Amino acid sequence: MYRKFKKFGLVAVTSIMFGGCIKHIDLYLKNDCRMACKKKNKKEGLLRKIINPFLEIFDDYEKRTLYLKSDSTLEELVNGKNYRDKVRIKFYGTFGGFIGPLREYFLKDLVEMAIIYKDDVLLLDAGSIDVVCDREVFNEIDAILISHTHFDHIWHLYGVYKNLRKEGKEVKIYSPQKVPFWNLAKNVSTNIPKKIKSFEIEYIETKHDIKCYAYKIKVNGKVIGYTGDTAYFEELADFFKDADVIITEASLLEKPRHIDEKMGIFNRHMSPQSVIKLAKKANPKLIVLTHFNNLSPKKFKKAVEKEFERVIYATNGLELIID
Ligand SMILES: [Zn+2]
Ligand SMILES: [Zn+2]
């Protein structure tokens, strides 16, 4: 009897709590979350514990537009206006490869961003499908640049591509290696062009498990760097020297258990200390953190901020305007 009661009590309480979670997740993940939540309801307690701090973090930043002016303070950036004729960066996914129960929640929100200038759009990585809903940007995509073919960077490449084709657009995909979708093969090139529309493109090979490129995009006098996945190395900072914005992966807030520092993940990804080194040496106007493998982008930002103030973290839907 006691057992039964205990079981009932647990179910009732957790489902009320979980009901609250569902509402919040809807705001952020838009589709599929109800189904995913129902499927996972046996692990409610665990999910609630993990999701709630996550939501608190993202409530602060969701749907913000930041405006980067050469001599702006961070307050000015946050309060700035949306100027459509400026160079813009929009983020559609900000997570890296996930471990554990959250994976299926966030697969649609893996790393992806667009650089936009007037009618020209360059999509960087394709981890998320959300760009398809942003018609203003989606309809103008000229090319897709992939940093490397780990799943978190190409998870929605086929979906994005298929939707573009529905609109009658056959865009070219550029990547350091062939992508694992046979039906895209003819559209993929491993020769990265120097120029696509208004964008001048340079790249450097990073320190990662497979061939991966960091990109430097020059457009309308602005310089935007994107690290792809990498450990810190000096040439990367030289490559990005004095960029307006460096978008850096921020995978390693803490040393994960079971990781060997010499051989393991620290040789392939960025920690707050690596980002600080990169920021200090490259001296960009702004560092944007993305590609999180934990639920604490805010903590990552705080850790970097102690030594390099001009840092923000990206969230899904964030739009950054560079003036
Ligand atoms: Zn990755
Ligand atoms: Zn990777």
Q: Give pLDDT tens digits for 37-64.
A: 333 333 333 333 333 333 333 334 444 4
Residue 98 vs residues 19, 45, 109, 152, 298: alpha-carbon distances, Å: 24, 19, 11, 8, 18
Side by side, the strands of the sheet bearing 172-174 are 65-68, 319-322, 87-93, 112-117, 120-124, 141-145, 172-174, 188-189
**d(CA 148, ligand 2 centre) in Å:** 7
Intervals of CATH 3.60.15.10 along the chain: 63-322
pLDDT digit string (tens) for 55-93? 333 334 444 455 555 555 555 554 555 566 788 899 988
Give the per-residue pLDDT at 237.
Answer: 98
**d(CA 19, ligand 1 centre) in Å:** 32
Tokens (6 digits) for 58 = 């993202």
Going by their DSSP bridges, the two strands 213-219 and 222-226 should be labelled as: antiparallel
Residue with tokens 């709590």: 17
Rounded Cα distance between 128 and 156, Å, is 5
**d(CA 256, ligand 1 centre) in Å:** 16
Ion ligand 2: protein residues whose beta carbon lies under 5 Å:
150, 229
Tokens (6 digits) for 107 = 């697969």
Give the per-residue pLDDT at 261.
Answer: 53
**d(CA 150, ligand 1 centre) in Å:** 6
Ligand showing the shortest atom-to-Cα distance for residue 94: 1
- CB under 8 Å to 123, separation ≥6 — which residues? 112, 113, 114, 131, 141, 143, 144, 145, 160
**d(CA 117, ligand 1 centre) in Å:** 26
**d(CA 157, ligand 1 centre) in Å:** 14
Give the per-residue pLDDT at 128.
Answer: 87
Give the per-residue pLDDT at 192.
Answer: 98
Alpha-helical segments (H) within 88-177: 103-106, 135-138, 151-154, 157-166
Rounded Cα distance between 204 and 27, Å, is 37
**Superfamily of structural domain 63-322:** Ribonuclease Z/Hydroxyacylglutathione hydrolase-like (3.60.15.10)
Give pTM, 2 decimals: 0.76
- CB under 8 Å to 2, separation ≥6 — which residues? none
DSSP structural state of residue 41: G
Rounded Cα distance between 81 and 315, Å, is 18
Residue with tokens 């056959």: 170
The closest alpha carbon to 98, from 90, 110, 88, 87, belongs to 110
Average pLDDT, the chain: 74
Residue with tokens 């103008």: 140
**d(CA 150, ligand 2 centre) in Å:** 5
**d(CA 277, ligand 2 centre) in Å:** 20
All residue ranges of the chain with pLDDT < 70 are 1-84, 98-108, 254-266, 294-295
Beta bridge partners of 65: 319
**d(CA 91, ligand 2 centre) in Å:** 18
